[in-house]
Amino acid sequence: MSLAMPKPEEEILANRTRLIERLREILPDDNVIDDDAALKAYECDALTMYRQLPLVVALPETVPQVSEIMALAADMNVKIVPRGAGTSLSGGSLPLGDGILLGMGKFNRVLEVDFPNRCARVQPGVTNLAITHAVQHKGFYYAPDPSSQIACSIGGNVGENAGGVHCLKYGLTTNNILGLEIVLMGGEIIHLGGKHLDSELYDLMGLMTGSEGLLGVITEVTVRILQKPQTARGVLVGFPSVAAGAECVAAVIGAGIIPGGMEMMDNLALVATDDFQPCGYPRDAESLLVVELDGTQSEVDHLIERVSEIAKDVGATTIKVSQSEEERLQFWAGRKNAFPAVGAIGPDYLCMDGTIPRGQLAHVLTEMQEMGKRHGLRVANVFHAGDGNLHPLILYDANKPGDIEKAEAFGADILKLCVAVGGVLTGEHGVGVEKRDLMPEMFSEADLEQQQRVKCAFDPNHRLNPGKVFPTLHRCAELGKMHVHRGKLPFPDIPRF
Ligand SMILES: Cc1cc2nc3c(=O)[nH]c(=O)nc-3n(C[C@H](O)[C@H](O)[C@H](O)COP(=O)(O)OP(=O)(O)OC[C@H]3O[C@@H](n4cnc5c(N)ncnc54)[C@H](O)[C@@H]3O)c2cc1C
């Protein structure tokens, strides 16, 4: 009988088998996926240039199951990647070969709609659009509207602090959630916020929103719902240059007007969009603004007049105001299909997501065209102009040797420029694996270490979604141990009045 230590591969295999057995003690058999063909469906998110088969996929249906899986992962020292609908554009839900992919898709119920408190309690796998569908019969809606809203989940929206066309006026996900239920790494279940407007102590909900699955697993979200504005009308404004369009954005906001939405497209994007989904865009314009003005009828009429005047002053060549609800929706149908439309004109595209001060739009967009020439790749722009949130779509061909590297280098140059002009690396898509190595462009070593101390407070062994967001991982012990006081701390005297 040999007493030799098992080979590492045998050990890994034995651990995997044991892990799957223990997952099957927690979940029904069908909710544990371990064969390669079925795992393939989970190998990437919407950042498809990165792919990795997960060790195993677990699909819990209840909060106690999530809690047990988290405790199991801690017990067996296994990593966990939470996943909603897998539409992340930054690789946030990219699986790990040595980790459980925790799919939250079965948490798909709207638990409660509470009109008097203007909120809804939903499970994290509910799609963004399904929330609006659940409340629209009473004239309400959920405001943040990512273009992926038909597919992406509210849990993923919280994970990435997702935005959308209407976030300029109504705020991002962080401004539209009231409460969260979260399962921590050891299996503990915590509740933050509720149906009320504000919470005491630290803003942990703010911390969780945009935490990219690094701090805990969200199992319930209480969202704020808003009453639909009485009227909304769309305006298409075409310009002879990108600079004139950018100038109009700054002038409208500078005049004190906050449109319901203000999106911009350059000529490459708008023509591709109009080909893909005919929507009446002015095809000869070098840049196009799709503006929505909402409110009462008289307010909207007044705002349309003011925006039109400002647009003419900066040289608009076409101004088209929607004459019916169908036409307004047609204007937006184009914008919402812009990504697939650009996808149709090139084999592949890489979608970037930097945010800059609005006043820098013209400079950055012009510089980007020059960069495109240097890198030998085309770039189409379609983005949340009012927020200064850029989405350059870099066209490349994954089958052409060297093209992926060129696209990544071009994307990195764009994001470095965003930071150089006073902006940030991401507006709404998150850091994930995509922008991880660019973090030092924006944060000092001390900044990054302080952020990792927050991670350490929730997940000291880096089991939750490691490899995302932080370019280097420090052992939590290296970042300075917290002084643990056992027993009661001396209680300071409180002065009496
Ligand atoms: C065509 C297209 C258009 C898009 N348009 C927009 C847009 O306009 N605005 C925008 O903001 N984004 C947009 N996105 C990006 C994407 O849809 C969003 O980032 C969305 O919020 C991701 O949701 P998801 O359910 O797919 O999450 P996933 O991709 O599954 O996960 C995203 C992140 O959240 C974490 N996560 C997911 N669920 C949980 C949970 N229950 N608990 C803890 N962490 C969790 C994951 O670990 C990961 O880090 C677009 C994507 C595509 C493909």
Share of the chain above pLDDT 70, in %: 95
**What residue owns the CA closest to ligand 1's atom 1?**
148
495 or 134, higher pLDDT: 134
Q: What is the pLDDT of residues 4-24, one digit of tens each?
A: 555 567 777 889 999 999 999
The residue-averaged pLDDT of 447-463 equals 95
Ligand 1 proximity of 84 Cβ (cutoff 6 Å): yes
User: Are the C-beta atoms of residues 92 and 109 closer than 8 Å to each other?
Assistant: no
Q: Which residues pair with 224 in a beta bridge?
A: 119
Residue 366 has pLDDT above 50, yes or no: yes
Q: Which residue, by CA, sits nearest to atom 19 of ligand 1?
A: 88
Nearest CA residue ID for atom 16, ligand 1: 88
Mean pLDDT of 149-164: 97
Selection from 287, 293, 289 nearest residue 268 by Cα: 287
Identity (one letter) of the amino acid at 263? E
- How many whole angstroms separate alpha carbon 438 and alpha carbon 442? 8
- Look at residue 448 in the predicted model and tell me its pLDDT: 95
Q: What is the structure's pLDDT at 10? A: 78
Residue appearing with tokens 């629209």: 136
pLDDT, residue 2, reads 41
pLDDT at residue 7, rounded to an integer: 59
Q: Is 458 in the pocket of ligand 1 (CB under 6 A)?
A: no
Mean pLDDT of the chain: 93
List the beta strands (DSSP E) in 247-347.
Answer: 261-266, 287-295, 318-321
Cβ of 292 closer than 6 Å to ligand 1, yes or no, is no
Distance CA 181, CA 67 (A): 12
Ligand 1 and 167: CB distance under 6 A: no
Q: Tokens standing for 72?
A: 């199991």
Question: How does strand 32-33 pair with strand 56-58?
Answer: antiparallel
Q: 3-state class of 367 per DSSP?
A: helix
Cα–Cα dist 60/55, whole Å: 16
Q: What is the 292 CA–ligand 1 centroid distance (Å)?
A: 25
Counting atoms of ligand 1 from 1, which one is nearest the CA of 157?
21
Task: Kindly report, residue by residue over 468-491, the tens digit of the pLDDT.
Answer: 999 988 888 887 654 444 455 565
Look at residue 40 and tell me whether its pLDDT is greater than 80: yes
What confidence score (pLDDT) does residue 490 get?
60
Q: What share of the chain is helix, strand, coil (3-state, %, to 5)?
A: 40, 20, 40
Torsion of CA 29, 34, 35, 38, to 10 degrees: 80
